[in-house]
Amino acid sequence: MITEKATFDLYKKVSTELPTDVMSELVRAHDNEEDGSLGKESLGHMIDNAKKAAELSRPMCQDTGTPFFYVNCPKECSQKEIKEAIEKATAKATEEVPLRPNAVDTLTDKNVGNMPVIHFTEGNELKVGLLMKGGGSENVSTVYKLPDASIGAGRDLEGVRRCVLDAVFKAQGKGCPPYSIGVATGGSIEEAAHLSKMQLLRKVDDINEEKALSEFEEKTLRDVNNLGIGPMGLGGKSTAISLKAAAGNRHPATYFVGISFGCWCMRRGQL
């Protein structure tokens, strides 16, 4: 069973400690940027900030983001009880970490605290993944419908690659690069978007078992970095540190491509 305490601890860790694989990539990117460039300076700020946040146990970013939970539970677990534990932990973390209250009632415009989004699946092992995903990186996330003549994108992986480059070009520095990017195909808008966001849970060194996708990930990441948008969009070699893809089945008539962006402080963790 997942307890309120364990979920609170997960919130605290994810909001205040950058995952080690992300930190390593930022350090590598920092070494790789030209001396004296704004890109190198921005990466220096990011690394310094992540260290301070961990030392002081404070949220790395003022934007709590939206907490996305991915819960895989065995059949004997109660989804209702897990949901209650997550909601209680969310309220406690908002008060005690503290986290910025971030959910706004769209009709009344009142701030109502933080509202986790919880996705359940059933399986043998109890697993919980958490993404705390900022509004800036969510605002540049998008879905394409192929074919798309505006970028010459057909219904194949080359078309998907063009979607990714177009999305990154349009995002520029608005979502706080260097990005982690999740890409997924699917038969419906929400399926492609959901699956692409789940790719952000994957670690930087997680190689896709599907060869066509691992090649796609490698090539597209290289192309993204050749755009030259750079850290914080101020120019440079590091526009993304990670790109992970998944291919969901589609309807014969549909071909959606979901693209989810994570900012440089890719806050993710697991129980």
Partner 1 sequence: MIELKTPLKKEDVLKLKAGDKVVISGTVISARDKAHAFMLSEDFPKAKDAVIYHCGPVIKDGSVISAGPTTSARMSQYTPELIGRYGVKAIIGKGGMDDSVLCALKGRAVYLSATGGAAVTYAQAMKVKSVSKEEFGMPEAMWEFEIRNFPAIVTMDAHGKSLHKKVLEDSGKSFRGMI
| Interface residues toward partner 1, by CB under 8 A | 38, 41-42, 45-46, 48-49, 52-53, 56, 58-64, 98-102, 104, 109-111, 134-136, 139, 151-152, 162, 165-166, 169, 172-176, 223, 226-230, 232-235, 263-265
d(CA 214, CA 247): 11
Q: Which helix (H) or strand (E) holds 133?
A: strand 127-133
Contacts of range 253-256, beta carbons closer than 8 Å, 24 or more positions apart: 254/145, 254/187, 254/188, 255/145, 255/146, 255/147, 255/155, 255/159, 255/185, 256/143, 256/144, 256/145, 256/146, 256/185, 256/186, 256/187, 256/188, 256/189, 256/191, 256/192
Least Å distance, CB 102 to partner 1, is 7
Residue closer to partner 1 by CB (options 99, 130) is: 99
Residue closer to partner 1 by CB (options 97, 204) is: 97
Residue closer to partner 1 by CB (options 62, 78) is: 62
Least Å distance, CB 228 to partner 1, is 5
Residue closer to partner 1 by CB (options 191, 236) is: 236
Residue closer to partner 1 by CB (options 226, 270) is: 226
Least Å distance, CB 62 to partner 1, is 4
Residue closer to partner 1 by CB (options 74, 98) is: 98
Least Å distance, CB 101 to partner 1, is 6
DSSP state at residue 87:
H
Q: How many residues does the chain have?
A: 271
Least Å distance, CB 85 to partner 1, is 24
Least Å distance, CB 223 to partner 1, is 5
DSSP state at residue 262:
E
Phi, psi (degrees; rounded to nearest 5) at 135: -70, -35
Return the SS3 of 166.
Answer: helix
